[in-house]
């Protein structure tokens, strides 16, 4: 069963997801001194980041990291850390505590152990918000990447894996599926008809084969929520499906 929310445009989807994530974090912070939020890069999260950064939370008790990182300096336009620093760690969220995956190592393979140690200090993950690629990747768990089967093992021991995507730019670090499944709350955030079709294929066991996001949806069924909007606004899109 997967809870799905379909909103009329990307800004409304970002706002709905931001409200949900803020509620999850607030609940956790009622019980614990700090809570860890894992976010994704790419273009989809920008409206979500902008909305979330303006919400009222005890942000100094929120720890933020990434589901995956491209191995470029934070000042590079493709850096997920750069994106999060600009778009999420601003406004009220400027006081959140940041700990990224990128470090000064020359390659993700060499930087992996340090990133895993940093992640270990942030556990448990309270909320993870993931994206989706048209090829079925989520985080940087790309179909056809060397080692991806091990990274998708729900019982795997590695929390952070180095990934060389077959087609996408930059070598990367990614949280493994096992690490992502350790999150108390999970959301998948996507826009556009093409990605909706990929999501639907991945959510159906009969057609999910070879789509990394399918493994996530199968393993997190019942506790992952999907937020979607068309890339151009349209009233027909609006809807809510409390469980397929
Ligand atoms: C990354 C992301 C990745 C992203 C998808 C979707 O660093 O590339 O974390 O998993 O979520 O590729 O990207 P877009 O939002 O740009 O379509």
The predicted-structure confidence for 127-151, as pLDDT tens digits, reads as follows: 999 999 999 999 999 999 999 999 9
Q: Is 231 in the pocket of ligand 1 (CB under 6 A)?
A: no
pLDDT of residue 110: 98
> How many whole angstroms separate alpha carbon 183 and alpha carbon 30?
17
Tell how far the Cα of 238 is from the centroid of ligand 1, in angstroms.
23
The 8 Å CB, 24+ separation contacts for 230-233 are 230/8, 230/9, 230/191, 230/192, 230/193, 231/10, 231/191, 231/192, 232/9, 233/8, 233/9
Read off the pTM: 0.95
Q: Say what the pLDDT of residue 1 is.
A: 80
What pLDDT, on a 0 to 100 scale, did the predictor assign at position 34?
A: 98
- Tell me if 40 CB under 6 Å of ligand 1: yes
Tokens of 156: 């795997």
What is the predicted pLDDT for the residue at 143? 97
Q: Which of 48, 100, 132 to mutate to test the pocket of ligand 1 (most atoms within 8 A of CB)?
A: 132
| Pocket residue to mutate for ligand 1, from 10, 17, 38, 42, most atoms within 8 A of Cβ | 42
The pLDDT value recorded for residue 239 is: 65
* Nearest residue (CA) to ligand 1, atom 12: 133
pLDDT value, residue 234: 52
Q: Which residues of the chain have pLDDT under 70?
A: 233-244
Q: Convert the pLDDT of each residue in 32-64 to its tens digit.
A: 999 999 999 999 999 999 999 999 999 999 999
Q: Atom 13 of ligand 1 has which residue's CA nearest to it? A: 42
Ligand 1 close to Cβ of residue 43 (< 6 A): yes
pLDDT for the residue numbered 99: 98
Distance in angstroms (rounded) separating the CA atoms of residues 82 and 80: 5
* Residue 68 Cβ < 6 Å to ligand 1: yes
- Element containing residue 227 per DSSP (H, E): strand 224-229
């Amino acid at each position: 069963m997967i809870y799905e929310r379909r909103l009329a445009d990307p800004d409304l989807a970002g706002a709905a997801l931001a409200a949900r994530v803020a509620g999850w974090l607030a609940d956790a912070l009622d019980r614990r001194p700090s809570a860890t939020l894992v976010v994704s890069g790419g273009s989809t999260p920008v409206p979500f980041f902008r909305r979330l950064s303006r919400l009222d939370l005890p942000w100094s008790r929120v720890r933020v990291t990434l589901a995956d990182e491209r191995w470029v300096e934070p000042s590079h336009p493709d850096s997920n850390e750069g994106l999060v620093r600009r778009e999420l760690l601003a406004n009220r969220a400027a006081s959140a505590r940041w700990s990224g995956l990128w470090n000064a190592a020359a390659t993700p393979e060499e930087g992996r152990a340090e990133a895993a140690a940093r992640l270990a200090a942030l556990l448990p993950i309270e909320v993870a918000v993931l994206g989706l690629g048209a090829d079925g990747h989520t985080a940087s768990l790309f179909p056809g990447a060397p080692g991806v089967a091990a990274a998708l093992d729900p019982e795997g021991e590695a929390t952070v894996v180095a990934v060389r995507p077959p087609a996408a730019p930059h070598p990367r670090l990614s949280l493994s599926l096992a690490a992502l499944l350790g999150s108390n709350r999970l959301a998948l955030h996507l826009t556009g008809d093409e990605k909706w079709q990929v999501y639907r294929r991945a959510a159906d066991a009969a057609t999910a084969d070879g789509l990394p996001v399918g493994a996530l949806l199968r393993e997190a069924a019942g506790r992952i929520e999907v937020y979607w909007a068309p890339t151009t606004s349209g009233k027909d899109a609006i809807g809510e499906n409390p469980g397929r």
